[in-house]
Amino acid sequence: MDNRATSKSRIEWGFILTLLVIISLAFAFIIEPFFGAIVWAVVVAVLFRPVYDRLVGVLPGRTNLATVITLVLILLLVIVPAILLGFAMVQEATGIYQRIQAGDIDFDAVFEGFEKSLPHWMQGQLADYGYGDFASIRAEVEQYVSAILEFLLGQILSVGQGAFQFMLGLGVMLYLTFFLLRDGPALTDRIGDMIPLEQSKRHILMERFLAVIRATIKGSLVIAIIQGALGGLVFWGLDIRGALLWAVVMGVSSLIPAIGTGFVWVPVALYLLVTGDVTQGVILILCGVFVISMVDNVVRPILVGRDTRMPDYVVLITTLGGLQLFGINGIIIGPLVAALFIAIWSIFSDMHEVHEPERTSD
């Protein structure tokens, strides 16, 4: 009788687990079109959680009103500026791309000036390494810059062409953000109850996850915004065309370790030096080294702390992998997955160390 009951119980568990996997895969397939909206809803909710908590303190018992006010702030501080920035970027990127295609930006003159400014021994060294043909290098650089601008325009215009899908995704994001802000703690407890661990271990798991996610968001998005804004102001102050566009590119490139904002300001500084704007070039180099690039070293420890910072090589690989798999959303998805991966392995290691003495004592 016991064997029959046990066999029946196993069949039931097997059926439930199979059904759970099938329904979970179907659910993931259904929400896949809004995957980016869901991710950004979580990101925005985590970033604006302190604002919501303060509003709840000012408006006790009126959580819905506090949530609505927080959403209005998100619209005014994040969504509307991002849309306006996108329109401005389209105009600047289109203008620069058209100037390159029309030949108004003369790469030949730039490379001729650069070649003439090099001493003979350096020209010989470059020739030995296979870089003596400046004409081919010029063509590659021109093609590379055009490809970057085409990519940016393609990403931005794809949003404009799919305006309905964009507005639908934005609505889903704001709708989810409302509930994540208002019911965040309850949802966290509900998810925690589903995890088959002791309460103390569940608490550690959720706290680690939230801490690492906050650290990742602050350590990437906030730093990117600061560095992009500073870079744009420097470009604008030096009267460099397309300052807004390059500010956004610097913000995005700052998310990628080993590349950073130098991906933009170093070539521009070299361009200024070669074309005779030595003063502007030197100012840009000084600002790039001592202002823009120093933000990461100064601000990140204040916002994040050093204990939760991921290794740069992990951020680099996961950011590039995220971009390849998820497009622009991968900038945040890749490092977030890496952060959770490190967190869960850290928790597993801690649990193993706790149980290891018990095992050896037996």
- pTM of the full structure: 0.66
Say if residue 3's pLDDT is above 70. Answer: no
**Distance in angstroms (rounded) separating the CA atoms of residues 82 and 330:** 18
Say if residue 51's pLDDT is above 80. Answer: yes
Mean pLDDT of 339-351: 74
Q: How confident is the model at residue 71 (pLDDT cuts 50, 70, 90)?
A: very high
Mean pLDDT of 148-163: 60
Domain map (residue ranges) of the chain: 34-181, 198-351
Mean pLDDT of 62-68: 89
Could you read off the pLDDT of 96-120 as tens digits, one per residue? 667 666 666 655 666 666 666 666 6
Say if residue 132's pLDDT is above 70. Answer: no
Provide Rg for the chain, Cα atoms. 26
Give the orientation angle of helix 262-274 with respect to helix 223-237, to 10 degrees: 10
Say if residue 168's pLDDT is above 80. Answer: yes
Residues in Cβ contact with 70 at an 8 Å cutoff, skipping those fewer than 6 apart: 48, 51, 52, 55, 181
Range ranked top by mean pLDDT from 13-17, 45-49, 296-300, 346-350: 45-49
